[in-house]
Amino acid sequence: MNGKSNELLLIAAIARLIADPAAHPARHVAVGAASPIPAAACWLAKMQGADIRLSLLHRPRGNPFSEGTRELFDLAGQGRIDLFFLGGGQIDGAANINLIGTGAWPGTGVRFPGSFGSAFMYLTVHRTILFREEHSARVLVPRVDHVSAPGISSPGTFRRGHAQALVTGRCVFRFDPTRARFSLASLHPGETRETVRAATGFDYDEPADIATTAGPTEAQAATLAGPVCDAMIETYPDFCRRVWGRGAKEEAA
Amino acid sequence: MDVDALAALVPDGAQLALVPDNSLSPGAFARALVRRGVRDLRLVGVPVAGYATDLLIGAGCVAELETSAVTLGEAGMAPRFAAALAAGRLRVVDTTCPAMHTRLQAAEKGVPFMPLRGVLGSDLVAHRPDWKVIDNPFQPRGAEAADPILLLPALSPEFAAFHAAMADEEGNVWVGRRRELATLAHAAQRSLVTVERRVPGNMLEDERLAPGVIAAVYVSAIAVARHGAWPIGLLDEYGYDAAHIDLYAKLARSEPGFAEYCARFVAAPTEPPATILAAE
């Protein structure tokens, strides 16, 4: 699988999770910095007809907020953000995420960038899709060294939602918050139960039937290369050049 | 007053709040602080730190950093931050973005603390002895279970610094929609502001400009620094210089590379490349 088709596969997989009728409806989705694949998935879901308001936090122009960067958190605090995306330097089998680092606090082994808003957003938004392209035992660990944001909360602790799924470069896991446990949902083309098990540091359930993650249909691929790329090119020029071979300069001309 | 005179107002050991690379971070002011040779700064990332913070850490100006994250965006981890932490030369106090906003909002209201939802269950709480968890005293009558909620102490940074588009004759500054800078200026004890240009009159008398103004009552000192955000962008006036941040990230990976960066871009005031200003 080449890099480009891999990215399209991840976009299609996340777009399906966004539109999942069984999940809390994604009427307002916020997408943070450096997240071109989740952003493309949101645009795809929206352009296929999902009723989504999309707030892209790092648009250089036309940013969705006018009350400063705290407005995102104020919205989430009120329950006005339905879906958010988080990643992690480490993610464990209970969906805890670590953005602090490894070794002793505050990350004296390998330091990660820091927790950003994760400790708040994971508890206040209605659902979260975890996305980390690197799928290795280094990232997907039995137990994170430090918890930036907890996968589940103790009873009585205010919390609106949990991880819906974890999407990686090898597969899609679904998360069950009542059991604090992932379950393998689909394997990307080229992966097997064994390759995923070998690359995953945490334990998870493996149902008898596991689908192959479907890439975009022809119509979806055309939507992605056309209007989705148009919508993303100003914010993510390098990504658009790499995936669709289109540059911001050519677009501006 | 020029940017070097503005930087001279910050004493060694001061607490200084800086803003991230998408929010009018004062690039020229950070380089002037390095030239001034300030020491033992206690930096506060509001809520995230970037280029200016990494530069100051690399130059040995910083003793402590409280922040939600340090990042150079697409250019990746902030290399001098990571090196200083690994070498034990930097005390790092981790927080989370809305906690920083909330602490400043408490300060601008003049109240000692404010509550915040979420965060409970994060290891951050255990590492912040200055944070407290209480039971919500306003639970509906008859509620049986406890409702724990986080309380955060107000934060009034000794200094805040940012770059605004313009200052008027009254000393008001204009930051457009970047209202997080207004919250910061309201909370800080002294706000030092570099501006692209001076404009005549009083912007508060212009209904179109007034919503983007931080009033002079919150501003301690102003210096004109043309292209003073660079390599950070300034609203729709000039863009973020990704090529320069990439160059910084590459050079700052090593001590000699960082020294080369400082010799080329920090030792004397530097102008951005023409490509960045093409949009002006």
| Domains in chain A: ranges and CATH | 3-252 (3.40.1080.10)
Does some domain include residue B100? Answer: no
**Residue B270 contacts A, CB cutoff 8 Å:** no
Is the CB of A67 less than 8 angstroms away from the CB of B69?
no
The average confidence (pLDDT) of chain A is: 92
The model's pTM is 0.95
B5: distance to nearest CA of chain A, Å? 29
B134 and B164 inside one domain:
no
Give the model's confidence band at A130: pLDDT under 50 very low, under 70 low, under 90 confident, else very high.
very high
Whole-angstrom CA distances from B84 to B16, B32, B81, B222, B254 are 18, 21, 5, 31, 12
B148 and B161 inside one domain:
no
Which of 209-268 (B) contact A at CB < 8 A? 233, 236, 239-240
β-bridge partners, A111: A101
Per-residue pLDDT at B279: 53
Per-residue pLDDT at A68: 86
Give the model's confidence band at A157: pLDDT under 50 very low, under 70 low, under 90 confident, else very high.
very high
Retrieve residue B194's tokens: 């570099």
Is the CB of A121 less than 8 angstroms away from the CB of B123?
no
Residue of B nearest to A65 (CA): B177
B275: distance to nearest CA of chain A, Å? 13
Does some domain include residue B101? Answer: no
pLDDT at B273 over 90: no
The average confidence (pLDDT) of chain B is: 95
B28 and B136 inside one domain:
no
Does some domain include residue B204? Answer: yes
Q: What percent of chain B has pLDDT over 70?
A: 99
The mean pLDDT value for B125-142 works out to 94
- The CATH number of residue B246's host domain is 3.40.1080.10
**Parent domain of B71:** 3-95+156-270
Give the model's confidence band at A23: pLDDT under 50 very low, under 70 low, under 90 confident, else very high.
very high
**Residue A42 contacts B, CB cutoff 8 Å:** no
Residue of A nearest to B71 (CA): A113
Nearest to A116 among B69, B119, B181 (CB): B69
Retrieve residue B96's tokens: 């989370």
Alpha-carbon gap, residue A47 to A35, rounded angstroms? 18
Alpha-carbon gap, residue A188 to B87, rounded angstroms? 41
Residue B279 half-sphere exposure, CB side, CA atoms within 13 Å?
14
Does some domain include residue B213? Answer: yes
Residue of A nearest to B146 (CA): A156
The residue with tokens 């994250």 is B69
Give the model's confidence band at A253: pLDDT under 50 very low, under 70 low, under 90 confident, else very high.
very low
The mean pLDDT value for A73-98 works out to 97
Give the model's confidence band at A1: pLDDT under 50 very low, under 70 low, under 90 confident, else very high.
very low
Does some domain include residue B178? Answer: yes
CA angle A66, B194, A64 (to 5 degrees): 15
Nearest to B120 among A68, A100, A153 (CB): A153
Whole-angstrom CA distances from B22 to A86, A132, A246, B134 are 19, 23, 25, 35
Which of 189-218 (A) contact B at CB < 8 A? none
Kindly tell me the burial class for residue A207, based on how many C-beta atoms sit within 10 Å of its own C-beta (0-12, 13-18, 19 or more): exposed
pLDDT at B225 over 70: yes
Are B9 and B36 in contact by the 8 Å Cβ rule? The answer is no
Is the CB of B180 less than 8 angstroms away from the CB of A154?
no
Alpha-carbon gap, residue B35 to B2, rounded angstroms? 13
Does some domain include residue B137? Answer: yes
B11 and B118 inside one domain:
no
B198 and B91 inside one domain:
yes
Residue of A nearest to B182 (CA): A68
β-bridge partners, B150: B116, B133
Alpha-carbon gap, residue A122 to A143, rounded angstroms? 18
**Residue B278 contacts A, CB cutoff 8 Å:** no
The mean pLDDT value for B187-216 works out to 98
How many distinct structural domains can be found in chain B?
Answer: 2
B82: left (phi over 0), alpha (psi -120 to 50) or beta: alpha
B120 and B259 inside one domain:
no
B181 and B248 inside one domain:
yes
A-B CB pairs within 8 A amount to 142
Does some domain include residue B106? Answer: no
Strand ordering across the sheet containing A127-132:
A53-56, A28-31, A83-86, A127-132, A162-168, A171-176, A181-187, A211-212
B129 and B148 inside one domain:
yes
Residues in chain A: 253
Write down the ipTM of this complex: 0.95
B87 and B193 inside one domain:
yes
Retrieve residue A211's tokens: 């689908």
Higher-confidence residue of B139 and B44: namely: B44
Per-residue pLDDT at A252: 45
Per-residue pLDDT at A249: 52
Are B172 and B204 in contact by the 8 Å Cβ rule? The answer is yes
Which of 81-140 (B) contact A at CB < 8 A? 81-82, 85-86, 92-99, 101, 105, 116-124, 127
Helix (H) or strand (E) holding B153: strand B148-153
Does some domain include residue B279? Answer: no
B117 and B91 inside one domain:
no
B14 and B125 inside one domain:
no
B137 and B163 inside one domain:
no
DSSP per-residue codes, B79-143: HHHHHHHHTT--EEEE--HHHHHHHHHHHHHT-SEEEESS-TTSHHHHT-TT-EEEE-TTPPTT-
